[in-house]
Amino acid sequence: MSQSRYEKRGVSATKAEVHAAVADQDKGLFPGAFCKIIEDLAGHPDYCMAVHADGAGTKSSLAYVAWKEGLGLDVWKGIAQDSLVMNLDDLGCVGARGPFFVSNTIGRNSKLVPGEVIASIVAGYQEFCDRLSNRRMIPCQMVGGETADVGDLVRTIIVDSTVVTRMYRDRVVDANRMVPGDVIVGFSSTGQACWEDVPNSGIGSNGLTSARHDSLMELYGIKYRESFAPEMDPELVYCGKYKLRDPLPGDDRFTIGSALLSPTRTYLPLMKGLMEQMSVSDLHGLIHCSGGGQTKIGKFGRPGNLYMKETLFPVPPLFAMLQKATGQTWKEMYQVYNMGHRLEAVVPRKCVDVCRAVARACHIDNQVVGYVTDGGKPGENVVICTQFGTFTY
């Protein structure tokens, strides 16, 4: 099988090797849940815990280039938010509402990344935690971290974090409850949620390796050779036509740089609203469409489930630009990027109006994007119908 452009850059949408490596590990208390749930550290039978680790990925390399190009230190605060949200929203998908305890890990090449960058990242972590805690009543506390100077290993900087939470077992959202007859409500990744200060382009923290190389010009590769792996095929390195300050085609609210660096939206306040307005027994699944994009849901639910997505959101301008720039097939685009919505609630049809009302109160566009039916088979359980064709995964 020929490799996609994404795979040729040394990244994977499916993470098949990773999943194979952990296949024999214990699945925890709720094997079908979006995140692994473990026994309570204190041994209380009514409680359980979840520990999650993730980070901003190669978005930090894009931030490095933008910072070097004079876009300011605040780009690093967005990277801190990316690192946090990729953890927090995964945990939200199992029903966690906090308190969340955060430990951050930063590995940098200290000859290229000075202390002022570290200070901006740490400030970004704290500001985002404060915003959740004080404005949204979702307790989120920084408890420490580690910054390591590892220039032998890291070309520029990597920004990761680990989040721990404790919750009642009877509040766990177990995606194994998704069954035929359920509907899939999608929540837009674009626009401006009521807790955001500026509009969001819709990007998350996955797919950025291809996004930056296929959209940005060769000059960035010439100026910042430390921003990419030297093993990469030269034809795949910064092979786009845009500069960071060029306007985003189709949406002049953004430049190419601000669209690609748009901080990953957190849906935690929306998820909290769903949990307050609905019985946990009616929340059959919450799916964070990050790695794997619109195919993510296929990793969860009962064997035999087929997830039909027939009414997706229009493709946001950023993703339309990326498809045109990359020449990637639309099938691959839907597997790499969220393509317009990054959170799904899988619920009985009677609960759709509640989901949509909660989303409207958050100023987030929403719609029914699909449903669950019978007919899935190993290796093929997601069907996405778009104006560009019907794709089976």
Q: Is the dihedral of CA 354, 302, 84, 331 positive or negative?
A: negative
Q: pLDDT > 70: what percent of the chain?
A: 95
What is residue 279's DSSP assignment? -
How does 257-293 read in b/e, with b if 16+ C-beta sit within 10 Å? Answer: bbbbbbbbbbbbbbbbbbbeebebebbbbbbbbbbbb
Residues whose CB falls within 8 Å of the CB of residue 177, separated by 6 or more in sequence, listed in order: 32, 281, 284, 285
For residues 53 and 246, give the distance between their C-alpha atoms in angstroms, rounded to a whole number: 34
Can you list the domains of the chain with their CATH numbers? 5-392 (3.90.650.10)
For residues 280 and 45, give the distance between their C-alpha atoms in angstroms, rounded to a whole number: 19
CB 206 within 8 A of CB 290: yes
What's the full length of the chain, in residues?
A: 393
pLDDT at 326 (0 to 100): 84
pLDDT at 204 (0 to 100): 94
For residues 274 and 192, give the distance between their C-alpha atoms in angstroms, rounded to a whole number: 19
For residues 293 and 289, give the distance between their C-alpha atoms in angstroms, rounded to a whole number: 5
Question: Two tokens at 132?
Answer: 């959740």
The alpha-helical segments, DSSP class H, found in 217-329 are 218-223, 256-260, 268-277, 317-326
388, with CB counted inside 10 A (0-12, 13-18, 19+), is middle
Closest C-alpha among 350, 389, 388, 387 to residue 368 = 350
For residues 378 and 103, give the distance between their C-alpha atoms in angstroms, rounded to a whole number: 37
pLDDT in tens, 46-105: 999 999 999 999 999 999 999 999 999 999 999 999 999 999 999 999 999 999 999 999
pLDDT at 81 (0 to 100): 98
Helix (H) or strand (E) holding 370: strand 366-374
Residue by residue, pLDDT tens for the chain (393 residues) are 346 666 777 676 565 665 566 666 788 999 999 999 999 999 999 999 999 999 999 999 999 999 999 999 999 999 999 999 999 999 999 999 999 999 999 999 999 999 999 999 999 999 999 999 998 899 999 999 999 999 999 999 999 999 999 999 999 999 999 999 999 999 999 999 999 999 999 999 999 999 999 999 999 999 999 999 999 999 999 999 999 999 999 999 999 999 999 999 999 999 999 999 999 999 999 999 999 999 999 999 999 999 999 999 999 999 999 999 988 899 999 999 999 999 999 999 999 999 999 999 999 999 999 999 998 788 889 999 999 999 999
pLDDT at 22 (0 to 100): 64
pLDDT at 15 (0 to 100): 56
For residues 326 and 129, give the distance between their C-alpha atoms in angstroms, rounded to a whole number: 36
Do β-strands 183-188 and 157-168 pair in parallel, antiparallel, or remain unpaired? unpaired
Strand partners, 101: 141, 164
pLDDT at 28 (0 to 100): 95
pLDDT at 1 (0 to 100): 36
Residues whose CB falls within 8 Å of the CB of residue 59, separated by 6 or more in sequence, listed in order: 79, 82, 205, 208, 261
The order of strands in the sheet holding 341-347 is: 285-288, 341-347, 183-188, 366-374, 305-309, 382-386, 389-392
* Most distant CA atoms of the chain, gap in Å: 58
Question: Two tokens at 197?
Answer: 């200060």
